[in-house]
Amino acid sequence: MTTPHLLLDRAKVERNADRLRTHVASLGSTLRPHVKTSKSVDVTRLLFDGGTGPITVSTLREAEAFAANGFTDVLYAVGIDPHKLDRVLALRRAGVDLVVLLDSVAQARAVAEAGVPALVEVDCDGHRGGVTPGAPEVLEIAAVLGEHLRGVLTHAGESYFCYTEPELVAAAEHERTTAVGVAEDLRAAGFPAPVVSVGSTPTAHFARDLTGVTEVRAGNFVFFDLVMAGIGVCTVDDLALSVVTTVIGHRPDKGWILTDAGWMATSRDRGTAAQPTDQGYGLVMTEDGTLIPDLLMTGASQEHGVLSLRDGSTAPFPDLPVGTRLRVLPNHACATAAQHDHYDLVDSSTAWPRVNGW
Amino acid sequence: MTTPHLLLDRAKVERNADRLRTHVASLGSTLRPHVKTSKSVDVTRLLFDGGTGPITVSTLREAEAFAANGFTDVLYAVGIDPHKLDRVLALRRAGVDLVVLLDSVAQARAVAEAGVPALVEVDCDGHRGGVTPGAPEVLEIAAVLGEHLRGVLTHAGESYFCYTEPELVAAAEHERTTAVGVAEDLRAAGFPAPVVSVGSTPTAHFARDLTGVTEVRAGNFVFFDLVMAGIGVCTVDDLALSVVTTVIGHRPDKGWILTDAGWMATSRDRGTAAQPTDQGYGLVMTEDGTLIPDLLMTGASQEHGVLSLRDGSTAPFPDLPVGTRLRVLPNHACATAAQHDHYDLVDSSTAWPRVNGW
């Protein structure tokens, strides 16, 4: 097989999925996985014991591809562009219960006119979009949506910047109370708002109470990555995805090993740069999955990676001749996977396609 | 058409190509464009008046796709992984004059055994791979390659960090003298080394003398980008590529406009962050291509972009309702284009596919 390519450890996906499903079920809620990380029908089936179930999508192309494979309970969790309602309606006419997201009266008017059910996005931590809890817009939007209002959604984007268990537990509880509070405001005003949707990979794992929450969204957990390990949501051993690469050169004068996986294969994501331990473009393992002490991918051009020892390391410089195969663990699995159109599976000749594009 | 998507201005590509072709020809050399930026047969044909010509590729998949479209003079300018020689040989047997690159005796042995012609990569500025000019490895590699030695190649990677015309002119001249010097060393030792290949988009434009250089490589110039404008190789008006996006929300409390183009559409590349003027994730234009004063894409999650005014700006905050279409000019055209599988053309219903993957 040529390099670079994505390598997926199916057993780790199943282990990661079991862990979160069990946790969410133990708190009396339901998981609605976000397929934006894998963009793979095959990976997502692993989360439903080979079947289908409720999913969250980040693009309408994902919605269309998953619908074609039997996933008919779909939340499109990016604020709706009114131009996209034609495609939403086509899916709904085909029997897909596709729900959209919005946070303005302007969007609500377009969505109500089209007759599409929607969740109202609520901001819980100033990270992205969403109406402010308690602001008059909440009831104005609900009034415009009328029977098309399904409920509320929030996302604790700030949880990606929490580094202790108490902070993560607090972020999860704040996410829950924000969403439940707005749902209660709506119900008090006469709007049913049956759905209360929360989630992010960190808060989903650290929630201690999901009272009032009808569904939990998380995406990254299927693969995990070095950012999640840095936050403490997983260990490095939980990472299910790596980029396989080949050594193509050496610069002993600089302490560099050159590989054929540049940013085209790993993405430019450097999420761990903002964390206490910067992992460069990723940790490096042997082909069989053993970490090489202190070896990082520290540089990237389009089709070249640079590997070198972590600053201050006393580890021996590894002997990795031209032609040696290695694996690089990603900073951000969503971004790294996005550079590829399929997954190769560990110990298998199977390839699973991704649904890229919009 | 749904957003986000890539929009390409064909007239600007033709103008950019004419400029560099004319410059290189005026100095008595030949352009061997690097197709890694566009990865598009259609875009590359514009550089050869609708026909074919010598090209540089960054992946064997590019080589295969371009060969299938009549491009038979191909340089694969990433250090060769010996595992890839089977695919190289298959193309050569199909009549493609595919030449590989190497910088070690180990690679030279594999390449000579396979009977594939090669250039020796020479390091001119410590940026990536390559043998050191004057080092004994140069002649050792040549001896192993024997009749398979085609010549030398260098790439002035450091030119991306030059900001004045004298620095750029000096980088180009240093690139030339390094490559020509090693070729002369080889010839003095009895190796013909007919090919002397140099290039980067900055040095290709600022070369004042190409004596002894048989070919100039450049890739980015077909589209240009904000990094190149920051270096001074082009103006913002020369940028041929943008990402079309739609406004999906507002956060007036934060001075944010939210769009449906996140890093999935633009890439995570923040090349201008290291330049005197940081352009965020890109400058923002109206749908018809007029720059909106001081509006930048300043944040990105997977499918959300955040637009805000440049720090300290006194420009009026633009009124851009939900549903407004905008264009974002990229930091790094190679990276942004890599997030997409095709180009939509300005004033045309034509779509040109890209050759992604390896």
pLDDT one-digit tens code per residue, B40-64: 999 999 999 999 999 999 999 999 9
**Residue B341 to residue A334, Cβ atoms within 8 A:** no
Same domain, A46 and A148: yes
Distance from CA of B248 to the nearest CA of A (A): 6
Instruction: Identify residue B25 by its one-letter amino acid code.
Output: A
Give B-chain residues touching A78 at CB under 8 angstroms: 248, 260, 303-304
CA atoms of B164 and A356, how far apart (whole Å): 40
Give yes or no for residue A145 having a pLDDT over 90.
yes
- Which candidate, A261, A250, A257, A255, places its Cα nearest to that of A328? A261
In chain A, how many domains are there?
2
Nearest residue of chain B to residue A265 (CA atoms) = B357
Regarding beta strands B55-57 and B5-8, do their DSSP bridges make them parallel or antiparallel, or are they unpaired? unpaired
Average pLDDT value for residue range A196-220: 98
**Residue B103 to residue A128, Cβ atoms within 8 A:** no
**Residue A303 to residue B58, Cβ atoms within 8 A:** yes
Give yes or no for residue B119 having a pLDDT over 90.
yes
Task: Decide which of B223, B248, B264 is a domain's last residue.
Answer: B223
- Which candidate, A199, A233, A203, A201, places its Cα nearest to that of A216? A199
DSSP single-letter state for residue B122: B
Nearest residue of chain A to residue B251 (CA atoms) = A129
Average pLDDT value for residue range B313-327: 97
Give A-chain residues touching B358 at CB under 8 angstroms: 2-5, 265
CA atoms of A121 and A100, how far apart (whole Å): 10
Mutate to test the interface with B, among A303, A307, A339 (most CBs of B within 10 A): A303
Mutate to test the interface with B, among A87, A322, A344, A356 (most CBs of B within 10 A): A322
Nearest residue of chain A to residue B269 (CA atoms) = A268
Output the pLDDT for position A128.
Answer: 86
B112 within a domain of the structure (yes/no):
yes
B300 within a domain of the structure (yes/no):
yes
- Which candidate, B137, B78, B283, places its Cα nearest to that of A4? B78
Output the pLDDT for position A334.
Answer: 98
Output the pLDDT for position B275.
Answer: 96
Distance from CA of A265 to the nearest CA of B (A): 9
Using a 10 angstrom Cβ sphere, with 0-12 exposed, 13-18 middle and 19 or more buried, the burial of residue A181 is middle
CB A248 within 8 A of CB A260: yes
- Which of A81, A322, A339 is the closest to B3 by Cβ? A81
Task: Decide which of A190, A223, A256 is a domain's last residue.
Answer: A223
Give yes or no for residue B152 having a pLDDT over 90.
yes
> pLDDT-derived band of residue A238, with 50, 70 and 90 as boundaries?
very high
Write a three-state SS string for chain A: CCCCEEEECHHHHHHHHHHHHHHHHHCCCCECCECCCCCCHHHHHHCCCCCCCCEEECCHHHHHHHHCCCCCEEEEEEECCHHHHHHHHHHHHCCCEEEEEECCHHHHHHHHHHCCCEEEEECCCCCCCCECCCCHHHHHHHHHHHHHEEEEECCCHHHHHCCCHHHHHHHHHHHHHHHHHHHHHHHHCCCCCCEEEECCHHHHHHCCCCCCCCEECCCHHHCCCHHHHHHCCCCHHHCCEEEEEEEEEEECCCCEEEECCCHHHHCCCCHHHHCCCCCCCEEEEECCCCEEEEEEEEEECCCCEEEEECCCCCCCCCCCCCCCEEEEECCCHHHHHCCCCEEEECCCCCEEECCCCC
> pLDDT-derived band of residue A190, with 50, 70 and 90 as boundaries?
very high
Q: Enumerate the H helices of chain B as residue ranges.
A: 10-26, 41-46, 60-67, 85-93, 105-114, 136-145, 165-188, 201-206, 226-231, 263-266, 333-337
Output the pLDDT for position A95.
Answer: 98
Same domain, B247 and B198: no
**Contacts (Cβ under 8 Å, ≥6 apart) of A276:** A163, A230
**Residue B304 to residue A78, Cβ atoms within 8 A:** yes
B16 within a domain of the structure (yes/no):
no
- Which of B78, B87, B107 is the closest to A304 by Cβ? B78
Average pLDDT value for residue range A235-244: 98
Give B-chain residues touching A334 at CB under 8 angstroms: 302
CATH no. for residue B334? 2.40.37.20
CB B76 within 8 A of CB B36: no
Q: Which helix (H) or strand (E) holds B95?
A: none
- pLDDT tens per residue across span B259-315: 999 999 999 999 999 999 999 999 999 999 999 999 999 999 999 999 999 999 999
Nearest residue of chain A to residue B306 (CA atoms) = A128
How high does pLDDT run on average in chain B?
Answer: 97
**Residue B304 to residue A129, Cβ atoms within 8 A:** yes
Same domain, A241 and A213: no
Give yes or no for residue B127 having a pLDDT over 90.
no
Distance from CA of A352 to the nearest CA of B (A): 15
Same domain, B191 and B277: no
Residue B347 CB neighbours (<10 A): 8
Same domain, A194 and A329: no
**Residue B358 to residue A2, Cβ atoms within 8 A:** yes
Mutate to test the interface with B, among A57, A84, A89, A358 (most CBs of B within 10 A): A358
How high does pLDDT run on average in chain A?
Answer: 97
Helices B136-145, B105-114: axis angle to 10 degrees equals 10
Distances (CA, A) of B142 to B84, B154, B175, B178: 21, 16, 20, 17
Q: Which helix (H) or strand (E) holds B329?
A: strand B325-329
A9 within a domain of the structure (yes/no):
no
CA atoms of B358 and B352, how far apart (whole Å): 19
B230 within a domain of the structure (yes/no):
no
Spacing of C-alpha A18 from chain mean position: 16
A90 within a domain of the structure (yes/no):
yes
Using a 10 angstrom Cβ sphere, with 0-12 exposed, 13-18 middle and 19 or more buried, the burial of residue A142 is buried
- Which of B83, B306, B356 is the closest to A246 by Cβ? B83
Same domain, B59 and B120: yes
Q: Which residue's structure tokens are 């060769």? A: B80
Write phi, then psi, for B351 (nearest 5 degrees): -125, 135
Evaluate the CA torsion angle B236, B240, B336, A83 in order and state its sign: positive
Instruction: Identify residue B226 by its one-letter amino acid code.
Output: L
Same domain, B211 and B259: no
Same domain, B45 and B173: yes
Same domain, B185 and B142: yes
Range of the domain at A216: 31-223
Same domain, A124 and A95: yes
Output the pLDDT for position A114.
Answer: 98
Distance from CA of A340 to the nearest CA of B (A): 7
Give A-chain residues touching B4 at CB under 8 angstroms: 358
Give B-chain residues touching A82 at CB under 8 angstroms: 322-323
- Which candidate, A263, A348, A340, places its Cα nearest to that of A39? A340
A269 within a domain of the structure (yes/no):
yes
Give A-chain residues touching B160 at CB under 8 angstroms: none
CATH no. for residue B205? 3.20.20.10
- Which of A2, A36, A303 is the closest to B302 by Cβ? A36
Nearest residue of chain A to residue B131 (CA atoms) = A251
Nearest residue of chain A to residue B36 (CA atoms) = A302
Helices A165-188, A136-145: axis angle to 10 degrees equals 60
Output the pLDDT for position A228.
Answer: 97
Mutate to test the interface with A, among B259, B302, B354 (most CBs of A within 10 A): B302
Same domain, A204 and A247: no
Average pLDDT value for residue range B330-348: 97
**Residue B2 to residue A83, Cβ atoms within 8 A:** yes
In the structure, how many helices (H) and strands (E) does chain B have?
Answer: 11, 16
A3 within a domain of the structure (yes/no):
no
- pLDDT tens per residue across span A36-89: 999 999 999 999 999 999 999 999 999 999 999 999 999 999 999 999 999 999
CA atoms of B249 and A127, how far apart (whole Å): 13
Give B-chain residues touching A132 at CB under 8 angstroms: 253
CA atoms of B227 and B210, how far apart (whole Å): 25
Mutate to test the interface with A, among B59, B81, B264 (most CBs of A within 10 A): B81
Q: Which residue's structure tokens are 């562009």? A: A81
Distance from CA of A120 to the nearest CA of B (A): 12
Cis ω for the linkage preceding B82 (within 30 of 0)? no
DSSP string for B169-209: HHHHHHHHHHHHHHHHHHHHTT----EEEE--HHHHHH-S-
Interface pTM (ipTM) of the complex? 0.97
Which of helix, strand or coil describes residue B305?
strand
Which of helix, strand or coil describes residue B87?
helix
Give yes or no for residue A127 having a pLDDT over 90.
no
Same domain, A249 and A139: no
Write phi, then psi, for B199 (nearest 5 degrees): 145, 150
Write phi, then psi, for A83 (nearest 5 degrees): -60, -20
Task: Decide which of A202, A223, A244 is a domain's last residue.
Answer: A223
- pLDDT tens per residue across span B90-108: 999 999 999 999 999 999 9
Mutate to test the interface with B, among A81, A105, A332 (most CBs of B within 10 A): A81
